[in-house]
């Protein structure tokens, strides 16, 4: 294979790996995609706990009207850091990390195309977060301008402290890591596939990682240039975003959302990929309409590049621009709807095993549909004019990012934990985790739709003059503590299962993609022998030689497109 694809560098010495040396150095110095993937997962779990604690403090402050637990400055730092952390240091790196671990296995490769760049991506992510969080220990405190840091509030005249500088620098560093990771994934998926693994046989998770990676390559440069301009403004006295000196406040928003909306799909497409792997395996059926699930992903990826100004309907861009962005945003509902219906049809007629991964995947469908429908509603400009910047929006994006991405992430963790560690996670604790999450999540966020419609603006540390919002906020806060409890159960499950979980074997779920054809955890070199690929479900074909998916397919031994 290496002779056919010279673009891929071959290591001349053995890669440091999970082998005999399992000391700290073997991790820090590792360029093995599985170790790097695991480090991503551990890193995101740490940031998840930190971001969750920030959310708990926010909800505690809001539990009653006129609470004086937190100062406004501290409250503003907390919601800024909560949003920034959950998006840039939890959901996004988790999905990149799980991709780094699984993509080479799923396409039958030995590692990523550029293993050293892979390590660089991880360390840029990790240290970008450290740089951001270091701000808490400085005199000025953490950034306090919101996760989209609208100019000119984020400019020097209105934010004299160094918070926004740390924010831009930390995200600049981790963003370069994401960009490199995107490139690495694109090259890996396009060039490292095992013989027989054509694009039409690619596992859907890999398809979605491919589209996500293209998005990363396209949009990270947009936000990186915006960060550089903001830093020039703040540190060297440039005026890109300061209207008082000829700059434009709206320009920042175009840059930010030009990145920021595709980012939403970067957060959710790999999650779609996870669900598209889990649902067929637990329904014991192939994915319904493979071409449409894969094709709709490409459609979403392309459309997502042209919808950014639906975050800016209240800015006053004019109704022609508003109408265009409204239509483009509504169109995304079509490929997304196709996906949902294909997942449901995959389950239809199946013999479904509702183990924990499938529970989360099933709940994901419902929660995500709620978030998707409120998304269509706010794509309609006049409705957006009423509810934007209110708690309705907070409810909406938590239904997509928590109810969507995070539910899928939990499904993925329970599904692949046996592969990562060689042990099963506890089903009992998993079910506790699942039900607490479902109850806590809906209790916290569904009611926020109504708070928004009633007039509660987001990002307000107090509502002392609106006491009748108190009871609804209290319900939301109780829900947040139930989520916290569910996370404790989840972490406890990980710890217990790592020590005493039942041995998993190679393929505990009787799944069909290539990562299940090797040992759990896989050896450094991944596969002794990659099984022949002559259909979308190589392990199904092996198990059912009399009824393979593609009866006429020939076994090929050379080239991915043979």
Question: Residue 221, interface with other proteins (CB under 8 A)?
Answer: no
* Interaction of residue 376 with other proteins, rule CB under 8 A: yes
Site for other proteins contains 199 (CB under 8 A)? no
User: Which residue lies nearer to other proteins by CB, 191 or 239?
Assistant: 239
| Alpha-carbon span 379 to 388, nearest angstrom | 10
What angle, rounded to 10 degrees, do the helices at 427-454 and 470-500 form?
160
The torsion angles phi and psi of 380, rounded to 5 degrees, stand at -80, 115
Q: Least distance to other proteins from the beta carbon of 380, Å? A: 4
* Residues making up the chain, counted from first to last: 562
Phi, psi of 18 (to 5 degrees): -75, 0
The 249-268 contact track toward other proteins, x by CB under 8 A, reads: xx------------------
Q: Does 238 bind other proteins (CB under 8 A)?
A: no
Q: How many CB atoms lie within 10 A of CB 7?
A: 11
User: Which residues 156-195 are close enough to bind other proteins by CB under 8 A?
Assistant: 157-158
Beta-carbon contacts of 379 under 8 Å, excluding residues fewer than 6 positions away, are 310, 326, 329, 330, 333
Calculate the alpha carbon distances from 162 to 155, 237, 341 in Å: 10, 14, 48
Closest approach of other proteins to the CB of residue 83, in Å? 11
Closest to other proteins by CB, 461 or 490? 461
The reply on whether position 345 binds other proteins by CB under 8 A is: yes
Closest distance to other proteins from the beta carbon of 334 (Å): 5
Residue 525 in contact with other proteins, rule: CB under 8 A: no
Radius of gyration of the chain (CA): 23
Q: From the CB of 337, what's the least distance to other proteins, in Å?
A: 5
Alpha-carbon distance 239 to 229, whole Å?
Answer: 9
Among 327, 488, 542, 555, binds other proteins (CB under 8 A): 327
Binders of other proteins among residues 3 to 62 (CB under 8 A) are none
Rule CB under 8 A: say whether 427 interacts with other proteins: no
Nearer to other proteins, 56 or 250 (CB): 250
Please work out the total of residues on this chain that contact other proteins, with binding judged by CB under 8 A.
Answer: 86
Our CB check for other proteins shows the closer of 130 and 373 to be 373
Site for other proteins in 386-415 (CB under 8 A): 386, 388-390
Is residue 351 near other proteins by the rule CB under 8 A?
Answer: yes
Tell me the β-bridge partners of 184. Answer: none
The residues in 290-309 that bind other proteins, with binding defined as CB under 8 A, are 290-292
Question: Is residue 429 a contact residue for other proteins (CB under 8 A)?
Answer: no
CB of 289 to other proteins, least distance (A): 4
Only one of the segments 95-103, 208-216, 374-382, 424-432 lies at the binding site for other proteins (rule: CB under 8 A); that segment is: 374-382
- Assess contact for 48 and 448: CB atoms under 8 A: no
Cα separation of 127 and 41, whole Å? 15
Interface characters, 450-479, with other proteins (x: CB under 8 A): ---xxx-xxxxxxxxx--------------
| CA separation for the pair 277, 469 (Å, rounded) | 42
The residue among 268 and 287 lying less far from other proteins, judged by its C-beta, is 287
SS (HEC) of 198-211: CHHHCCHHHHHHHH
Determine the interface stretch with other proteins among 141-149, 255-263, 400-408, 478-486 (rule: CB under 8 A): 141-149
Q: Determine if 152 is a binding residue for other proteins (CB under 8 A).
A: yes
Question: Which residues between 77 and 96 bind other proteins (CB under 8 A)?
Answer: none
Q: What angle do CA 130, 134, 135 make, to 5 degrees?
A: 130
Q: What is the DSSP letter of 241?
A: T
Q: Do residues 121 and 181 make contact, with C-beta atoms less than 8 angstroms apart?
A: yes
State yes or no: residue 321 binds other proteins (CB under 8 A). Answer: no
Q: Does the protein bind other proteins through residue 316 (CB under 8 A)?
A: yes
Question: What is the C-alpha to C-alpha distance for residues 472 and 463, in angstroms, rounded to an integer?
Answer: 12
Residues 269-288: x where in contact with other proteins by CB under 8 A, - otherwise, as a string: --------------xxxx-x
Q: Name which of 29 and 314 has its Cβ closer to other proteins.
A: 314
Residue 89 CA: distances (Å) to CA of 45, 124, 228, 501: 9, 11, 20, 28
- Please tell me whether the peptide bond between 521 and the residue prior to it is cis, using omega within 30 degrees of 0: yes
76 binds other proteins (CB under 8 A): yes
Q: Which of residues 543-562 bind other proteins (CB under 8 A)?
A: 544, 547, 549
Q: Cβ(284)–Cβ(251) under 8 Å?
A: no
- How many Å separate Cα 447 from the centre of its chain? 24
């Amino acid at each position: 294979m290496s002779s056919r694809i010279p673009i891929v560098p071959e290591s001349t010495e053995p890669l440091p790996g999970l082998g005999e040396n399992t000391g700290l150095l073997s991790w820090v110095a590792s360029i093995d995609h599985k170790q790097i993937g695991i480090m991503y997962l551990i890193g995101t779990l740490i940031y998840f706990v930190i971001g969750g604690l920030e959310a708990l403090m926010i909800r505690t402050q809001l539990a009653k009207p006129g609470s004086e637990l937190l100062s406004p400055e501290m409250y503003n730092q907390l919601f800024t850091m909560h949003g920034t952390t959950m998006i840039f240091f939890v959901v996004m790196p988790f999905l990149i990390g799980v991709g780094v671990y699984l993509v080479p296995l799923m396409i039958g490769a030995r590692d990523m195309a550029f293993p050293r760049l892979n390590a660089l991506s991880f360390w840029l992510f990790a240290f970008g977060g450290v740089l951001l969080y270091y701000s808490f220990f400085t005199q000025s405190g953490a950034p306090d301008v919101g996760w989209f840091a609208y100019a000119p509030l984020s400019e020097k005249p209105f934010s004299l402290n160094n918070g926004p500088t740390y924010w831009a620098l930390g995200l600049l560093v981790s963003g370069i890591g994401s960009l490199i990771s995107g490139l690495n994934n694109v090259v890996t998926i396009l060039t490292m596939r095992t013989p027989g693994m054509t694009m039409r046989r690619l596992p859907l998770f890999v398809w979605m990682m491919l589209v996500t990676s293209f998005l990363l390559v396209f949009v990270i440069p947009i936000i990186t240039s915006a960060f550089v301009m903001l830093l020039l403004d703040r540190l060297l006295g440039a005026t890109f975003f300061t209207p008082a000196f000829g700059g434009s406040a709206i320009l920042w928003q175009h840059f930010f959302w030009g990145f920021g909306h595709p980012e939403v799909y970067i957060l959710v497409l790999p999650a779609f990929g996870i669900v598209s792997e889990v649902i067929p395996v637990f329904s014991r059926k192939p994915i319904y309409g493979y071409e449409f699930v894969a094709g709709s992903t490409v459609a979403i990826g392309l459309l997502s590049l042209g919808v950014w100004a639906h975050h800016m309907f209240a800015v006053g861009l004019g109704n022609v621009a508003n109408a265009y962005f409204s239509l483009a945003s509504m169109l995304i509902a079509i490929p997304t709807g196709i996906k949902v219906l294909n997942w449901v049809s995959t389950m239809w007629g199946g013999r479904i095993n509702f183990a924990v991964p499938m529970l989360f995947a099933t709940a994901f469908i419902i929660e995500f549909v709620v978030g998707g429908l409120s998304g269509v509603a706010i794509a309609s400009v006049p409705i957006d004019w009423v509810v934007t910047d209110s708690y309705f929006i907070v409810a909406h994006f938590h239904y997509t990012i928590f109810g969507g991405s995070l539910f899928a992430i939990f499904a993925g963790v329970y599904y692949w934990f046996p592969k990562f560690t060689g042990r099963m996670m506890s089903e009992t604790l998993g079910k506790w985790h699942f039900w607490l999450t479902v109850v806590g999540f809906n209790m916290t966020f569904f009611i926020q739709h109504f708070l928004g419609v009633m007039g509660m603006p987001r990002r307000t540390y107090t509502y002392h003059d609106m006491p009748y919002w108190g009871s609804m906020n209290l319900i939301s806060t109780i829900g947040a503590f139930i989520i916290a409890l569910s996370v404790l159960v989840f972490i406890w499950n990980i710890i217990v299962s790592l020590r005493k979980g039942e041995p998993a074997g190679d393929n505990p779920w009787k799944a069909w993609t290539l990562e299940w054809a090797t040992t759990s955890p896989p050896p450094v070199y991944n596969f002794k022998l990659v099984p022949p690929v002559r259909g979308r479900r190589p392990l199904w074909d092996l198990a059912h030689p009399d009824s393979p998916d593609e009866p006429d397919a020939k076994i090929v031994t050379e080239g991915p497109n043979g």
